[in-house]
Amino acid sequence: MPVESGSSAASRQAKQKRKSHSLSIRRTNSTEQERTGLQREMLEGQDSKLPLSLRSNLLDLFGQIEREFENLYIENIELRREIETLNDRLTAEGQTIDGGDLTKGALKTKASHSTSQLSQKLKTTYKASTSKIVSSFKATTSRAVCQLIKEYVGHRDGIWDLSVTRTQPVVLGTASADHSAMLWSIETGKCLLKYVGHAGSVNSIKFHPTEQMALTASGDQTAHIWRYMVQLPTPQPVADISTPCDDDIDFSDKDEADGDGEGPNECPSIRMASTTLRSHQGVVIAADWLVGGKQVVTASWDRAANLYDVETSELVHSLTGHDQELTHCCTHPTQRLVVTSSRDTTFRLWDFRDPSIHSVNVFQGHTDTVTSAVFTVGDNVVSGSDDRTVKVWDLKNMRSPIATIRTDSAVNRISVSVSQRIIALPHDNRQVRLFDMSGVRLARLPHSNRQGHRRMVCCSAWCEDNSSCNLFSCGFDRQAIGWNINIPALLQEK
């Protein structure tokens, strides 16, 4: 007569336990209506200023929470029993085999592996259940509204950087790997001017604080300053395609077919720079204007940042100390401060407020390339990294960050809204997420195969002086996008 093996017996016991678990769930569901009816009668008998419909909705939500956790509790008990049964069986098998140290070690490893699998299953079930509960609460609260206003298409390669002018007329500037920089009408999406003076990829673009001048950095190892004059066309009506910013909507990740895109129609071009800044021995990856606009700073792959005088084009200071290539540089809007980021996992704060003393502070808060670090209007610095974190620092005490944002993808060139103090995070995974300065997530911009970016998002930039678009993003799908972000005051206060 065949004898039932230990493994088959354990399998049969597990099936019986799962069956009893399903029966217990059916019993729970069978009494659900009675319990709900009793709770509703108690609810009607209580005095409350809340409308009955709202109280009923809250009751339904808390009922869902109770059922989810009840199911989790039952499954947790069953999983623990399975773990105990598995451990007992493995111990029994170990006694029938040679009880040497090697066998015990192998059995211990096998038991640990099986236990970790069951533990992971429990964690996955818990996360899936709690996410449903959180989604139920999100459905009853105010949401941020993200409206895609305009797409700016015309570059023939990926767009590395973008910026908005600080003087009238307010236009959008983009810097592309196709060796050009373009100025766009924010309202119509029409190209107003094209700069083609660089011999390499244009890696960044920044506008003078008071004059109609642009500063671009390039892979040709130079930075150019060039003047522009544009006339804004008549704006056209904008279609309303507002979409709630939602982290729980799953969109298709299918990429649309890439094309060369329609080039800008009758877009005038500039081929000569008014000032060319040389002295770097590598790619100039970023550049920015110091407060007042009389000096500029450039960051390069030669591991140095250079400070230039705009009027004379002379090199004033060479800022050295980084161990690897620089990735970004940024200046303070009101003080003579510069922050540089590098692949050496650090960012450095350079202080030029005292003409006789140029101090530097090194900050090691990340574990991978620091892709950007930017100032806020206040006394904060926000840094982003390939280690998938963004950190907020206080200039008065930068020993440790005051807030840390952890994400699921590398973070590229971030930007901070001056008026709303919201951080926009462009990601390698084609997402753009919004956080407040405390590290609380506010929203995610809509992303699908119909709207949003289809490639890595390289940069974001806020615009404080435009009513229709207040946030811009660009990426390697060769387009820039203008968004209107409306964050309810309730979400910003949380």
Contact 483/146 with Cβ under 8 angstroms?
A: yes
- Between strands 191-195 and 269-270, the pairing is parallel
Contacts of 197 (CB under 8 A, 6+ apart): 224, 226, 270, 271, 272, 273
What is the β-pairing status of strands 471-475 and 479-486? antiparallel
The confidence band for 259, taking pLDDT boundaries of 50, 70 and 90, is: very low
Are the C-beta atoms of residues 437 and 423 closer than 8 Å to each other?
A: yes
pLDDT at 463: 92
pLDDT tens sequence across 172-215: 999 999 999 999 999 999 999 999 999 999 999 999 999 999 99
**Cβ-proximal residues to 33 (8 Å cutoff; 6+ apart), any chain:** none
What is the C-alpha separation between 360 and 372, in angstroms, rounded? 17
How confident is the model over 26-49, as a mean pLDDT?
A: 58
- The residue type of 101 is D
Position 326 pLDDT exceeds 50 = yes
Confidence band for 243, pLDDT divided at 50, 70 and 90: low
The helix-helix angle for 101-138 and 52-96 (nearest 10°) equals 170
What is the reported pLDDT for 140? Answer: 39
> What's at 249, amino acid-wise?
I
Residue 461's alpha-carbon distances to 38, 98, 205, 309, 339, in angstroms, are 54, 68, 11, 26, 18
Position 265 scores a pLDDT of 57
Residues 6+ apart with CB under 8 A from 269: 193, 194, 195, 196
Sign, CA dihedral 96-102-105-109, equals negative
Model confidence band, residue 313 (pLDDT cutoffs 50, 70, 90): very high
Position 13 confidence tier, pLDDT thresholds 50, 70, 90? low
List alpha helices for 1-157, DSSP H: 6-30, 32-44, 52-96, 101-138
User: In the structure, what pLDDT confidence band is assigned to residue 70 with cuts at 50, 70 and 90?
Assistant: confident
pLDDT at position 237: 57
Residue entry with tokens 């800008």: 264
- Amino acid (1-letter code) at residue 186: I
Contact between residue 413 and residue 370 where contact means Cβ atoms under 8 Å apart: no
* Cis preceding-peptide flag for 333 (omega within 30 of 0): no
Residue 464, pLDDT score: 81
Sorted by sequence, the CB contacts under 8 Å of residue 398 that are 6+ apart come out as: 349, 361, 363, 381
User: Could you tell me the CA-to-CA distances from 79 to 19, 236, 296 in Å, in that order?
Assistant: 13, 62, 63
pLDDT tens digits, one per residue of 213-230: 999 999 999 999 999 999
pLDDT on residue 290: 97
pLDDT average, residue stretch 11-28:
49
**Which candidate, 263, 302, 296, places its Cα nearest to that of 279?**
302
When pLDDT is averaged across residues 27-39 and rounded to a whole number, the result is 55
- pLDDT number for residue 50: 76
Tell me the mean pLDDT in the region 311-339.
Answer: 95
Taking the C-alpha atoms of residue 426 and residue 461, their distance in angstroms, rounded to an integer, is 10
Report, as an integer, the average pLDDT of 289-304.
Answer: 97
Residue 255's pLDDT is what?
43
With a CB cutoff of 8 Å and minimum separation 6, the contacts of 153 are 189, 261, 262, 478, 479
Residue 428: closest CA among 408, 442, 447: 408
pLDDT band at 57 (very low <50, low <70, confident <90, very high): confident
Do residues 221 and 283 lie in contact, with contact meaning Cβ atoms separated by under 8 Å? yes
pLDDT of residue 42: 60
Q: Among positive and negative, which fits the CA dihedral 365, 366, 372, 377?
A: negative
- What's the pLDDT at 395? 87
* Range 286-292 average pLDDT: 97
Rounded average pLDDT over 36-55: 67
CA distance 5 to 484: 66
SS3 content of the chain, % helix, strand, coil (to 5): 25, 35, 40
Q: Is the pLDDT of residue 1 over 90?
A: no
pLDDT higher than 90, residue 155: yes
Query: What is the pLDDT at residue 34?
Result: 60
Q: Of all helices (H) and strands (E), which one includes residue 492?
A: helix 489-493
Residue 184, number of CB atoms within 10 A of its CB: 27
Q: Is the pLDDT of residue 242 over 60?
A: no
Model confidence band, residue 113 (pLDDT cutoffs 50, 70, 90) = low
pLDDT tens per residue across span 372-409: 999 998 789 999 999 999 999 998 888 899 999 999 99
pLDDT band at 24 (very low <50, low <70, confident <90, very high): very low
Q: Quick one: tokens of 198? A: 């660089």
Task: Look over the chain and give the mean of its residue pLDDT values, rounded to a whole number.
Answer: 81
Across the range 57-70, mean pLDDT stands at: 85
